[in-house]
Amino acid sequence: MTLLGEVVAASAEVAATRSRKAKTATLATLLAGLQPDEVRPATAWLAGEMLQGRTGIGWRTLQSVSPTPASESTLTVGDVDAALDRLAAMAGSGTGVGARRAAELGGLLDAATPDEGRFLVRLLGGELRQGALEGIMIEAVAAAATLASEATGSRVEVPADAVRRAFMLSGRLPTTAHVALTTDDPVTELSAIGLEVMRPLRPMLASPGDSLEAALAELGAPDGDPGVVVEHKLDGARIQVHRRGDEVRVWSRTLREITDGVPEIVALTRKLPVETVVLDGETLAVAEDGRPRPFQESMKGLGSGAMQPWFFDCLHRDGVDLVDEPLSTRREVLAEVVGDRLIPGVVRPTVAQAEQAVADALAAGQEGSMVKALDSTYSAGRRGRSWQKVKPSHTLDLVVLGVEWGSGRRRGWLSNIHLGARGADGEFVMIGKTFKGMTDDILRWQTETFPRYETHRDDWTLYLRPEIVVEIELDGVQTSTRYPGGVALRFARVVRYRDDKTAAEADTLETVRALKL
């Protein structure tokens, strides 16, 4: 049996180093030594999550408990997972339920050492961020599976790509780790994990494109064939729609189920000429003249019944998985399935036709265009170059690392935000600050919201857990020694906060540096 203290020690070791190789080695050593029933919970914890999801424990409950810590480590991974199961099973509210939760939590923390207790409080409070992001965990699982096979006397090299594909198609890292670490033939078992209708998969992501001309040159075929499609880039909410018979379910880009909030999408999907289908697309709120409303209204519109869906990919149709088929094939199937709900675009355009498609998208009120390689497969969960966003100006999705109190007219409000990009080691690196583009509503929201993410503060600044994603518009990037990232943003301004994105989806430092003037 594995002690919780061993997991806590590995977590602390990961947090203490910036070396991706060292992080991976530490995690792999721990994972390889776990018992089969310990793999799923320990993997989840190291990624800062719990198998149980929400347990009903809030900061008020955590702060109300005054444990007497244990002097030595005795809690096992199984003990803690069982306690979290009991906490999650205590549904409802009220004095009785709250008292039972507090008693269960108090008993758990009394059995924990001080280090273990701090780890559990951070885990339950949603602030366990030690740099073990998905990419590092995927590499660690692969390395651990290879180590575990050595212990049986028959070394099997488990490639990270096999783990990555299984995770992206299943959407469940703990389950993927369990398959990799507890089966006799992990490579075969991982490859057997495929798309499953009614189980969401990670959405494919796009990279910023330098320009339309550059995107066409990069993605076009070597023989001059313009092997791309240029589509409208809608300023809406990403959706993934599954249908099996009359059953329809819809998920957001973060794989949160939103079926009950989009009855119009459910009704439309039930009318499609298929028995089973998995669709990728966007839905947005529209004004009376048919033009799109702002992104925030599309996000708020989920549940209003006033949304219009558009689809740009088909990943499965009537028993046939399409993720490994080229986009050209997937798009042909998509057109047959969704008809006029196919997102506007032009296939294999000339340069003039591509330029007109971009102009048409902007004239329709969209935020830009997507340029996609027609020979690309669907790389679930990956941000690759085969899909590129082309906009009138550069935008980046960055993470808020801190915020300063304002002065002058902004005195009393949290104003100037510290911006971070994802480094190669999984940590977030500061690359700039800005307060431009902030309306009074944004300042008010920041002041009300940011203290919930605070880790510590000084006289001028609140430092935050790296969880809040903000879309930043900028004129370019230049080399600078002012910030740890070695670059500075030119004329950065806030476009909006992205509640639909997680920090793991923020742009990387490599992407930011690619925009240097």
Give pLDDT tens digits for 238-289.
999 999 999 999 999 888 899 998 999 999 999 999 999 999 999 987 766 6
pTM over 0.85: no
Domain membership flag for residue 195: no
Shared domain for 133 and 265, answered yes or no, is no
Query: Same structural domain for residues 155 and 244?
Result: no
Can you give the pLDDT at residue 417?
Answer: 97
Q: Please check whether residues 45 and 147 belong to one and the same domain.
A: yes
Q: What is the largest CA-CA distance in the chain?
A: 73
Does residue 162 fall inside a structural domain? yes
Confidence of residue 222 (pLDDT cuts 50, 70, 90): low
Q: Which domain holds residue 12?
A: 4-189
pLDDT digits (tens, 9 = 90+) for 462-502: 999 999 999 999 877 888 888 888 898 988 999 999 988 88
- The yes-or-no verdict on residue 505 having pLDDT over 90 is no
Q: What span, in angstroms and rounded, lies between the C-alpha atoms of 259 and 35?
A: 37
Co-location of 347 and 463 in the same domain: no
Average confidence (pLDDT) over 357-380: 90
Query: Residue 228 falls within a domain, yes or no?
Result: yes
- 442 and 415, same structural domain? yes
Identify whether 194 is part of a domain: no
pLDDT given for residue 140 in this prediction = 95
Is residue 20 assigned to a domain? yes
Buried b (16+ CB within 10 A) or exposed e, 427-436: bbbbbbbbbe
pLDDT at 287: 66
The verdict on 354 and 384 lying in the same domain is: yes
| Long-range contacts, stretch 187-193, CB < 8 angstroms, 24+ apart | 187/156, 187/158, 187/159, 187/162, 190/158, 190/162, 190/163, 190/165, 190/166, 191/162, 191/165, 191/166, 193/165, 193/166, 193/169
> What is the C-alpha separation between 327 and 388, in angstroms, rounded?
14
Q: Which of residues 390, 413, 444 is at a domain's end?
A: 390
Q: Are residues 322 and 360 in the same domain?
A: yes
pLDDT score, position 131: 44
Per-residue pLDDT tens digits for 394-410: 889 999 999 999 988 88
Phi-psi region of 396 (alpha: psi -120 to 50; beta: other; left: phi over 0): beta
pLDDT of residue 32: 94
pLDDT tens profile 44-56: 999 888 888 777 6
Residue 146's φ and ψ, nearest 5 degrees, are -65, -45
Q: Of 10-24, 97-111, 232-246, 279-293, which gets the smallest average pLDDT? A: 279-293
- The C-alpha atoms of residue 234 and residue 299 are separated, in whole angstroms, by 13
Q: What is the number of domains present in the chain?
A: 3
Instruction: Please check whether residues 16 and 135 belong to one and the same domain.
Output: yes
366: tokens are: 């969209």
Last residue of one domain, picked from the residues 159, 189, 219: 189
CA distance 268 to 292: 19
**For 199-217, how does the pLDDT look when each residue is reduced to its tens digit (9 = 90+)?**
999 899 898 888 899 999 9
Mean of per-residue pLDDT scores for the chain: 88
* 221 in the same domain as 185: no
Q: Are 111 and 74 in contact (CB under 8 A)?
A: yes
- Asked whether residue 295 is assigned to any structural domain, the reply reads yes
For residues 325 and 400, state if they share a domain.
Answer: no
Looking at the fold, whether 97 and 116 belong to one and the same domain comes out as: yes
Measured CA to CA, the distance from residue 177 to residue 43 in angstroms comes to 7
- Would 108 be classed as within a structural domain? yes
Burial profile 48-79: b = 16 or more Cβ within 10 angstroms, e = fewer: bbbbbeebbbeeebbeebebeebeebebbbeb
* Catalytic machinery residues: 233
Q: Is the pLDDT of residue 134 over 80?
A: no
Rounded Cα gap, residues 108 and 73, in angstroms: 12
Same domain for 400 and 383, yes or no, is: no
- Amino acid 60 reads R
